Amino acid sequence: HGLDGWLPLHAAAALALDKAALLLVLEAHSAVAATADADGKYAFQLLPSGASDDAATLLVTACIAASGEGVLWRLLGHAAATGVKPSAEAVRAAVEADPGAAARPFAMPAGWKPVEGALVRLRPGLGKKEAKYGDGVLRAGELATVTEVDRDGDLYLKRNGEERGYFKAADLAHGFDGWLPLHAAAALALDKEALLLVLEAHTAAAAATDAGGQYPFELPPSGASDDAATLLVTACIAASGEGVL
């Protein structure tokens, strides 16, 4: 059943009830905002694309208030999986609830393996990989979602809703593996205000490279705003002062 195992707030979020209705359900049992369903998803992660920013901010803030742990990474993971970018207000709430989060690299769960719904990117050392079938290509730093695992263990990937084709599991790593939140925020092309909040929480991250040798300013996708790119490059220079060019 579609609602099996859910608490009312999970259902209300998935049904995209408006902010006022969500608030009534939330106030009746605030702890549920930090309660995951059987698939490990929190209420804010169940909002469909097109849900209001006010509703998303309400649920994220409530989750932070109820738990405060790991919510920044959950927020970024939700953005990667759905393509819905968090508002600056939601990012601010996450950073303020756990100021040290911006300095902590993502810790890949023990025993993690790419399954349907997993967020992945190319493993360190690979700059580009072509799909086994078709014309799809995945490049270093690009985040994609596994939509199917075939009987040979190959993974069908989509990125920003676009099909990329089948790739070998051995060529992939967890999408956030080894990254600091600023790397993920850059790769997800968060707007300048949201990026600035993550950056100000840990400015040294601007000059930190990931396992593939990439700085945050090298990770935004084509089409990201010039303001965001300038912010990241300037911050990298300020934090390191050498070798940026």
pTM passes above 0.85: no
- What local confidence, expressed as pLDDT, does residue 133 receive? 78
- What local confidence, expressed as pLDDT, does residue 68 receive? 59
Average pLDDT over residues 35-56: 82
With bands split at pLDDT 50, 70 and 90, how would you rate the model's confidence at 244? low
Residues in contact with 219: Cβ distance below 8 Å, sequence separation at least 6, in sequence order: 141, 183, 186, 187
Q: Kindly tell me if the per-residue pLDDT of 47 is higher than 80.
A: yes
- What local confidence, expressed as pLDDT, does residue 211 receive? 80
- What local confidence, expressed as pLDDT, does residue 57 receive? 82
